[in-house]
Every structure is written in structure tokens, then in C-alpha cells.
Amino acid sequence: MTPNPWLDMLNLINGFQVTQAIRVASTLRVADHLKNGVRSAAELASLTESNADALYRLLRALAAVGVFREGPDRTFSLTPMGDCLRTDSATPIGGWAEHVGNPAYWGAWGDLLHSVRTSENAFKHLHGVDVWEYRVKHPEANTIFNRAMNDMSRGGSEAVVKAYDFSGFRHVVDVGGGQGSLLAAILRVCTQARGTLFDQPQVVAGAEAQLQAHGVIDRCNIVGGSFFEAVPAGGDAYVMRHIIHDWEDDQAIVILNSCRRAMCEPAKLLLVERTVAPPNELPGKFSDLNMLVAPGGRERTSDEYAALFEKSGFELTRVLPAGTFNLIEACVT
């Protein structure tokens, strides 16, 4: 096919349409209703309490980009991509679609120009509070966020446990661990280890049921608190997945210092984060813009993580690929 820069640019510009269409399909649980086979748009409209014609228009558009497959007589089935929207998928991502397409979060991206001109956080500029305070005041947004984090953690946990040998650890502390998806994955492969799940009280409030479902609750402690103040002591592995990137350097160092105070040699610090790729390569760079407009942090290069560690009593020892992310290991100094 002859290259068409104008059309390529148009497709990039119109990417927002696909995001919102996937968000709606996930919110309506269309993939769950297709789990057992082909259904018509009319059947799906009845099951999702939607308008049949409008739902058909949504589904045919998503079929055109590979999310579903359209068959004869307005029927639809799942594709491998669409299967990831099932709530019980082994690699779920529907929660993330609902989170990033949620009006409050979506609006922050609409305010990206403000962030670029001022370096200020767009979400806080738009809503008057940062994302953390907003979720406390809006429990429905917190529920959507928690599902998004669970989905992203569940989908990426297998890559993490494959990337790193956790077998030598006896006590794994998951700092900012949400409702425990990653910790559960680690404990399932390290049957000799115990775990401590640590996050804000309103976050870990729903963790017991999830850890019970994974069969590891009997080896877990659940602790609520703030990692800006202190984290539980006694672990020989401290894991943080997608935490440090939420914060600018000064705040990130406070969190790392909290971990350092809780750790004794030879404990390891393990961050699961994106690292920013070299010039003209994609990984990490749009996620970095996401940090600019929403949580207010940044993605970093490996060298930038090494500099953070040096300022907080750690030394970077290695960086390992872990699926679409990296596992960054550091030791105490």
C-alpha cells in the first residue's frame, strides 16, 4: 500500500473515538455476554439495556478495528482482543478502558495544553483537587480506578513472576499494592513466603476477598496507611508496582526513604515501572504524558531511576524486561 501521511495522521487524530467506543462496550459488559458464543445485536441490546440500532453501530465500528467480529445478520463474536474485555479474562483490560474514558479523567487529557504551557497538573487544574483527593470524595471513581488497577496488575503479574526469581524471599511487602493481585501472584509461586499488603485504608478495604479468592489470605497481612509516613518493616523484598511514576522526584524520594527505613540488608527493592525508551522509540512516552495530566508524576529512564536511588539510600543493580514493563532491582547501601 502506498504510504499516505495525511491518512496516517488522521487515524492518529481520531484515536479518541476508538477509546470511547471501547469504554462503552466494556461498561455494558458486551464481552461477557459474548463469552459463550455468537449473539445478535438485538440480543445484546436486550441484555445490556441498550438501543438495538445504536448498539449495532457501536459494535460494527469496533469490529472494524478488530475488537469484535461481525457475522451475518448483525451477529457478533469475540476476537482475541475483545476477549480481554471480559471481566474474567486471564489478561483483562476493560477496567482500564472504563477508567481512562471516565469523564473526570478524560477531561484532564482535554486540558493537556494547560499542562504543557505551565507544567501544572491538568487534573488538579480542571477539578480543583488532585486525583487522590478526588477519588476519596467520589467513591464511584475510586471503584472504577481500583478495577482498572486490578485488571492491569492481573494482566501483568504473570510477566513479573516470570521475569524475576522470587523464590529466595521469605516476606514480601507490596507497597501501594492495591487489592493484592501482584502479591497474590508472587505468593502463588513462592509457597514458602508470607506477604504484607500495604496501601491506603480505603484501598485495602476490599483486599481480603481477593486474596481469599487467590488462596493466599492465610499467608497475608493487610495494613492500611500512607507510604509518605512509614511502611511495614520486616520484609526481605519490597515491591512497588506503578507507584514511583505517580510522583515527581521530591515526593518519590520521600516514598523511597520510607521503604529504606523499613529495610535491612540484604533486602531488595523491586519496582515494576515503564522505562522511557531512547529518542524516536515509543515505550514510556505517552504514559509520561499521562503522568503529566493526571497523577502528576513522570516516567523515567533507567539513569533517572538510578539517580533517585542514590538520593534515598539504594543502588540500582539491574533492570529486567517484564512484559511491557521493566522490573528495576535495587539494594540498600
**Cα 65 to Cα 81, 84, 130, 174, distances in angstroms:** 10, 14, 34, 37
Q: Return the SS3 of 160.
A: helix
Type of residue found at 232: P
CATH architecture of the domain with residue range 5-89: Orthogonal Bundle (1.10)
* Numbers of helices and strands, H then E, in the chain: 18, 10
Q: Residues near 332 by Cβ (< 8 Å), separated by ≥ 6?
A: 260, 263, 264, 265, 266, 267, 269, 313, 314, 315
**Cα 37 to Cα 15, 44, 47, 88, 210, distances in angstroms:** 29, 12, 14, 15, 28
- pLDDT digit of tens for each residue in the chain (333 aa)? 688 999 999 999 999 999 999 999 999 999 999 999 999 999 999 999 999 999 999 999 999 999 999 999 999 999 999 999 999 998 899 999 999 999 999 999 999 999 999 999 999 999 999 999 999 899 999 899 988 988 887 768 889 999 999 999 999 999 999 889 999 999 999 999 999 999 999 889 889 998 999 999 999 999 999 999 999 999 999 999 999 999 999 999 999 999 999 999 899 999 999 999 999 999 999 999 999 999 999 999 999 999 999 999 999 999 999 999 999 999 999
What residues are labeled active site?
A: 245
67 class by beta-carbon count within 10 Å (0-12 exposed, 13-18 middle, 19+ buried): buried
Structural domain spans, the chain: 5-89, 90-155
> What is the secondary structure of 137-157 as a DSSP string?
H-HHHHHHHHHHHHHHHHHHH
Q: Write 52-55 long-range contacts (CB < 8 A, 24+).
A: 55/28
The cell for 210 is: 481477593
Q: How many CB atoms lie under 10 A from the CB of residue 60?
A: 14
